[in-house]
Amino acid sequence: MIQLAGMERILSGKMNWLAEHGYNVYFITYEQGNYPLSFNLNNDIKHIDLNVPLYKRYKYGFLKKNWILWKLKKDFSRKIKHTISSISPNIIICTNYEYLLLDEIQKAAKSISCSTILESHVARETELTATHIKYPILHALAKLYDKRKESTINKFNHVVALTNGDARNWNTKNIMVIPNMSIYPESIKHESSKRIISVGRLNYQKGYDMLVDAWKIVSEKHPDWCLDIYGDGDLRDELQNKINNQKLSNTIFLKHSTTHIFEEYQRHEFSVMSSRYEGFSLVLVESMMYGLPCVTFNCPHGPAEIITNGENGILVPPDNIEQLAKSINTLIENSLLRKEMGINARERSKEYDINPIMDKWVGLFNSISS
């Protein structure tokens, strides 16, 4: 399946901007295979796929899986070293946290004295293996693995975090903050409706199980309003079953990811985000660009750095389902408040337009080359 999530859209937009502004951009993937790219790229961008299908190892048992991983790692090491040597870039930007791959990229970059940047798209703590393992022995081993991973990450010349909250958690002196960006629309055309939108992958992080519970409360008071959830993920069937069991199938609609999400924002009154945690929340910024205030859990990290509570959206205590429902009802019942917050949201979102954000990246590039 083609990935249409925020990170893919951000990377595509960033590469296109750099190519349009005179940078030579090489886009290196390692297991793209015959799958099409998520979004269109500028014709001047050179795409190279190393064809190292690491994902194939997961269908085997423990011993064979690790033997295949060892072979694939050697293949990756050889190919990435050859590719970087032939391109001879000034700067390499990585978005992958796979420790074994980062280590090989570092070695390849060092061989040609190339600067490296790790661009973080998730909160640091979510990438630590030990965070998710409770069994004592496995937890101890996971902590050793995390220590090796962090040691490799600290070799990068710079680590770019998306939020100040996440930046404070990194154990590196070369951390800086550059938020995600999108293209600010100069004009929008809003279509009045009784529909609310939520956008994100259908996984545990996005907390849609809690949103369904909150919507149960909302629908009892406002049965003529609907909630559209755009996204794909492993929990689709589970969420649909929950919706059916709650008898909400006439007011909650699971829709697939779409390349036309900007048009969809303009067909809804406001947005809702029920995430348990975030790296930044691009969809929050994008919905604000289209004049939508947002009701969101004040989860780590991002919402509180984007939303001023009561001014351009509503921040709800994390995991508080009743308060989430109450805040949704507040915006449903106050059209003037929705309009005022929407105007403020659109104005606030200008800070995340592609040009001011890319100026920060150019400043980082210039500091490295000077």
Domain that holds residue 131: 6-182+354-369
Q: Which amino acid is it at 145?
A: Y
Same domain, 348 and 364: no
Same domain, 214 and 133: no
Structural domain includes residue 1 = no
Judged against a pLDDT cut of 50, whether residue 3 lies above it is answered with: no
Same domain, 243 and 143: no
Instruction: Give residue-wise pLDDT tens across range 138-147.
Output: 778 878 877 8
Give residue 133's pLDDT: 75
Q: What is the token pair recorded at 351? A: 């800070």
- Name the nearest CA neighbour of 270 among 319, 213, 222, 318: 222
Same domain, 160 and 216: no
Same domain, 13 and 162: yes
Greater confidence (165 vs 83) lies with 83
Instruction: Give residue-wise pLDDT tens across range 70-124.
Output: 999 999 999 999 999 999 999 999 987 676 788 899 999 999 999 999 998 777 7
Same domain, 161 and 201: no
Same domain, 63 and 146: yes
Same domain, 358 and 340: no
SS in 3 state form for 125-150?
A: HHHCHHHHCCCHHHHHHHHHHHHHHH
Mean pLDDT of 290-294: 97
> How many structural domains compose the chain?
2
> Do residues 168 and 300 touch, judged by C-beta distance below 8 A?
no
Judged against a pLDDT cut of 60, whether residue 305 lies above it is answered with: yes
Q: Which residues pair with 176 in a beta bridge?
A: 160
Read off the pTM. 0.84
Structural domain includes residue 86 = yes
Same domain, 38 and 140: yes
Mean pLDDT value across the chain? 91
Judged against a pLDDT cut of 80, whether residue 370 lies above it is answered with: no
Highest mean pLDDT out of 185-189, 251-255, 282-286? 251-255
Give residue 301's pLDDT: 85
Q: What are phi and psi of 134, to 5 degrees?
A: -105, -30
**Token match 């996204």: residue?**
231
Structural domain includes residue 190 = no
Same domain, 15 and 71: yes
